[in-house]
Amino acid sequence: MNRIEDDKGFLYKCNGGERKGVRYLTCYQKFCKGSASIRQNGSIVSGKDHSPNCLPNNADNERFNEKIKFRKILLLRSKQETTRLRTIYDEECIRNRIGALQYGWPVAEISMRLARKKATPALPQTLIALADFLDINPDRYKCCERPFYQERIVDGLGKCSIIFGCEELVNGVIRLGGNELHADATFKVVPSKPKSRQIFIMHIIIQNHSIPIMYALMESKTQEAYRLVLEKCKLLFPQLAPIIIMTDYEKALKNAFLSVYPNANLYSCWFHYVQSLMRNIQRKGLTTYLKNSYEAQMCVKMFAALALLPANLIEEGYQCIRQHARNNNLQLTPFFNYFNSFWLRTVGPETFSVHGIARRTNNNVENFHGRLKEKFQTSHPNLWTFLKHLNELSLKNHITIAQLSQGQKVSRPVKIKYIANSERIKIATAQLNLGTINVSDFLIQCSYTAETYIREELNWYTLVEPNLIVDNDDLTQSDGDDSVSVAEDIPHPVVNFADPTQYDGDDSLSGTEDNNQVAEDSDGSGNLFITRHVQAVIRNEDDFILEEELDPDMVNMMEIDNRRRELEIQNIPFVQVPINLPLPPNSNICVVCKDLERTHALIPCGHKALCGNCAELLQPKRCPLCKANFSSTLRIWS
């Protein structure tokens, strides 16, 4: 329809009426009552006035053009990005306010969804189908002008694994001296389709910074599947020759690393070791006993420090702990039997000892898993969103490597409390090597390195977990594809753990469960302990410290402060008190208001100290008993 403009800039359209050579016009804008007419001499004469919202052509054209521009931006971002459509719309509304006034969300959503649907391929049903798609479309995900997708591997059971990575990134890490590899797998962020058992990720440590270099979507987690993935990685990245490898206690993964990289030193995560000890204590019903006995807690803390000893001294350290238990008449016989039969006889000191290594835990990988989940805001994201984010991470890591090569800092400095804890271990180790202290003294000095973690675990098990209700529908399910045992001989040494069920089910480790069970980080819902710590692993890392260089002045200052505190403790008079003190009459009254009943426990410290009103209104959020900050509360029903 032709538009006619008058001398004032208003637009009209012919309404079809014409009489005696005069054509009658109506305003081009909807719902405007403005009118005009064209005389025989061609002049335009205005009729009815225009509505207030109707603007002359120059302003109307500007609004129309802004609307078209706004719509094009929305459609382009919908095609190119995996960001939520509403997020895209809200971001562009701020940048294009005039266009947003003409183009609302309900109308824009329809066009944006259609644009994304046309630009997004259908989800493949299997990993093999995904590999076929990436073979046909190698440029969909690229890093350094090369395909981010590397290769597919199919094992003898027909289970597929797909490898993603960038060879330039791996070579860049190796050039900076990266020879320490950390590896772990998780089910938490695996795409919802196609069905995958886990995502396996390998990191290289350079300048105390963790760089993910390889990702593998795997349908199986058998030893053969791991071995095939690692062998393919060795072919794809021949420069990768790690000297130190850190994993959890999953025997299939450890055996695969031993077979593919036999010259590397293989270590297991210290955090998973201590976590397994605490889980066993909880399963044997010893948490209440430990919470009420300082000497029993010291015994468990010495067990945690046992992994810091050289492997050849761990047996001697175990006997020192037994003697400590006898001297204090501790009732921990079931726990000692468990440790002796499982950790010393089945696993072996060579496997769980972390003596002499700079990084004793795999928490950097666990933290990376947590950041992935925060990024996706869901447990199982869309496949294309997942792959695009991994591709972007690889591109960002090239910048990180360039910054590290120039001596720039890419992360926050290590906190003093971490350094102090690590320095305590280093000093005790040096004294042990010099012979100035014996094994028992070493365990006592290093027992405080995991004190915070053990205390929080005891508070959780005794004050919080008994009041939680677990839905049976959330228990871990298995697809059973790993129940087939792989009968392949691997040269010595091989980690050959016995079935944990031989120890009444109390000895299962992180990653060492029966093959018929999904790994403990697979969905996190089957065990409250696992859920809490894998999702909040940053808090757990506070107790397991990285080895760092320390300023000598800072060391002297901390040593002087430590001696002063020890003298203060020694001067405190000793008073014999019973283990279980009687509770005062008002022990169930809120600590703050002194009026209502205590009904809420504070997380993470676990103290049941507040009523409902005070729990909601208390500022700052600090426990009135232990002065620790709390993030949330839990209603405790009597």
Q: Which residues pair with 204 in a beta bridge?
A: 181, 211
With H, G, I as helix, E, B as strand and everything else as coil, classify residue 540: helix
Task: List the structure tokens of 36.
Answer: 């005009």
pLDDT in tens, 229-256: 999 999 999 999 999 999 999 999 999 9
d(CA 111, CA 76): 11
CA dist., res. 113 & res. 120, Å (int): 10
Average pLDDT (117-127) is 88
Lowest mean pLDDT among 7-11, 67-71, 397-401, 462-466: 462-466
Tell whether the model's pLDDT for residue 406 goes beyond 80.
Answer: yes
pLDDT tier at 628, thresholds 50, 70, 90: confident
CA-to-CA separations, 519 to 442, 528, 529, in angstroms, rounded: 34, 14, 14
Strand 4-5 relative to strand 142-143, pairing: unpaired
CA distances from 252 to 184, 196, 496, 551 (A): 12, 17, 9, 41
Of the candidate ranges 414-428, 467-481, 583-597, 599-613, the one whose mean pLDDT is the lowest: 467-481
Question: What's the pLDDT score for residue 557?
Answer: 56
Output the pLDDT for position 518.
30
pTM of the model: 0.64
* C-beta of residue 359 within 8 angstroms of C-beta of residue 546: yes
Q: What is the pLDDT of residue 605?
A: 84
User: Mean pLDDT across the chain, nearest whole number?
Assistant: 79
pLDDT above 80 (res 514): no
Contact 183, 380 (CB under 8 A): no
Q: What is the mean pLDDT of residues 290-311?
A: 91
Q: What was the pLDDT predicted at 419?
A: 81
pLDDT of residue 305: 92
Note the pLDDT tens digit of each residue in 565-611. Answer: 666 666 666 555 454 545 555 668 888 887 888 888 888 888 888 88
Which of 256-260, 446-450, 454-458, 531-535 reaches the highest mean pLDDT?
A: 256-260
Q: What is the mean pLDDT of residues 27-53?
A: 82
Contacts of 337 (CB under 8 A, 6+ apart): none
pLDDT digits (tens, 9 = 90+) for 313-368: 999 999 999 999 999 999 899 999 999 999 999 999 999 999 988 888 888 888 88
pLDDT at 546 over 70: no
pLDDT at 500 exceeding the cut of 80? no
Strand 35-38 versus strand 44-46 pairing type: antiparallel
Task: Retrieve residue 490's tokens.
Answer: 């691997």
Please give the average per-residue pLDDT across 433-437, as a whole number. 90
pLDDT at 261 over 90: yes
The amino acid present at 304, given as its one-letter code, is A
Averaged pLDDT, 89-117: 90
Mean pLDDT of 433-454: 88
Q: What does the alpha-carbon distance between residue 405 and residue 240 come to, in Å, rounded to a whole number?
A: 18
| CATH architecture label of 582-638 | 2-Layer Sandwich (3.30)
Please give the pLDDT value at position 132: 93
Mean pLDDT of 267-288: 90
> Residue 504 has what pLDDT?
44
Q: Give residue 267's pLDDT.
A: 93
Q: Where are the domains of the chain?
A: 4-46, 57-119, 123-580, 582-638
Averaged pLDDT, 519-546: 36
